[in-house]
Each structure stands twice: as C-alpha cells, then as structure tokens.
C-alpha cells in the first residue's frame, strides 16, 4: 500500500502556497504545518502585500496553526517550507517548539544555518524534498524581476 501522506505529498502543498506568492509578486516561498496528516496552517510570503518584513511564509503558517490548535506550541507538528528558513523564522520555529522542519531548497546566503541560528534541540530537520521544483520557482521569479 502506498502512503500518500509522505514528505513529497506535503511539500507539493507548500509549493502551491509558493505559487500563490509568485502570482502576487511576492518572493515565492510557501509553508504548511501538518499535524496527524492534516494541514492545520498554511502561508506564503506577504511582505510586499502587508508592507511587513516579518510576514514570511513560515510566520503565516505558524500563526494559522497556533490559531487552529488554540495553543502556542506546535509539538507533534511538522512545518514544510519551500526555502530554508531565515534566522527570524528559525527563532519563531524555536519558540513554537515545532517537532520537525522539512525544507526544499537551501538558502546558502540567508538561511538560518548560514546565519548561525538554531532550531529547538528536539526539532528534527529534513532537507532537499522537491528541491528542484522549489529552486526553479525561485529562479523563474528572480529572472522575471530582472527583465
């Protein structure tokens, strides 16, 4: 039997969020929070729309998931995001105590690892899930901006 609820399945959902950001002229990063195979939070970058530098996809998804659960901690939850979280988002993930983070593309210049930030010590990390798709979306966006 094939388990449709794997990392690829959920990362595809995060990519749908990233595509919506692209459509709006935002940097195409999307995120979802999953608990017990159910999407309980979703978000995409809204920094331009909201004129708010903190309106990253991860922050939007964390807030939605916390509202869904009625709790500030996201233990037993997984965040799927199309780009490695930045230092600010790593801090939010740390404080939310999310159990697992799965990201697609690395951000070698501004990702939390390059900046020396850390996630919660109990947070498990998986990288590279649908990396090509996420990277291509970002490359297309920035190529279009340069035209």
Give the pLDDT confidence score for residue 146 in this predicted structure. Answer: 86
Could you tell me the pTM of the whole model? Answer: 0.95
Give the pLDDT confidence score for residue 77 in this predicted structure. Answer: 98
Give the pLDDT confidence score for residue 1 in this predicted structure. Answer: 43
> How does the average pLDDT of the chain come out, rounded?
95
Distance CA(22)–CA(27), nearest Å, equals 6
Decide which of 3.40.50.300, 3.40.1280.10, 3.20.20.60, 3.40.140.10 is the CATH code for 7-125.
3.40.140.10
In the residue annotation, 20 being an active-site residue is answered as: no
Residue 89 assigned to a binding site: yes
Each residue's pLDDT tens digit, 70-101? 999 999 999 999 999 999 999 999 999 999 99
Give the largest Cα separation in the chain, rounded: 47
Q: What percent of the chain has pLDDT over 70?
A: 97
Stretch 105-111: mean pLDDT, rounded? 95
Residue 69 has a CB neighbour count (10 Å cut-off) of 17
Residue 26 has a CB neighbour count (10 Å cut-off) of 22
5 pLDDT band, cuts 50/70/90, is: confident
Residue 120 assigned to a binding site: no
Give the pLDDT confidence score for residue 145 in this predicted structure. Answer: 84
- What strand order describes the sheet that includes 100-105? 38-44, 30-35, 78-83, 100-105, 124-127
Residue 56 assigned to a binding site: yes
Residue spans of the domains in the chain: they are 7-125
Distance CA(59)–CA(42), nearest Å, equals 9
Give the pLDDT confidence score for residue 3 in this predicted structure. Answer: 60
| Residue of 17, 20, 26, 58 with catalytic role | 58
Element (H, E) at 96: helix 87-96
Each residue's pLDDT tens digit, 30-63? 999 999 999 999 999 999 999 999 999 999 999 9
């Amino acid at each position: 039997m094939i388990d449709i609820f794997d990392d690829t399945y959920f990362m595809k959902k995060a990519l749908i969020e990233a595509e919506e950001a692209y459509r709006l002229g935002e940097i195409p990063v999307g995120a979802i929070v999953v608990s017990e195979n159910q999407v309980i939070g979703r978000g995409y970058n809204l920094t331009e729309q909201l004129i708010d530098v903190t309106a990253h996809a991860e922050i939007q998804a964390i807030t939605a998931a916390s509202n869904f659960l009625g709790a500030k901690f996201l233990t037993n939850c997984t965040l799927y995001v199309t780009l490695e979280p930045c230092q600010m988002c790593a801090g939010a993930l740390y404080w939310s105590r999310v159990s697992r983070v799965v990201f697609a593309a690395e951000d070698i210049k501004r990702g939390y690892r390059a900046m020396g930030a850390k996630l919660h010590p109990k947070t498990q990390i998986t990288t590279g899930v649908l990396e090509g798709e996420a990277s291509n979306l970002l490359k297309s966006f920035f190529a279009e901006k340069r035209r």
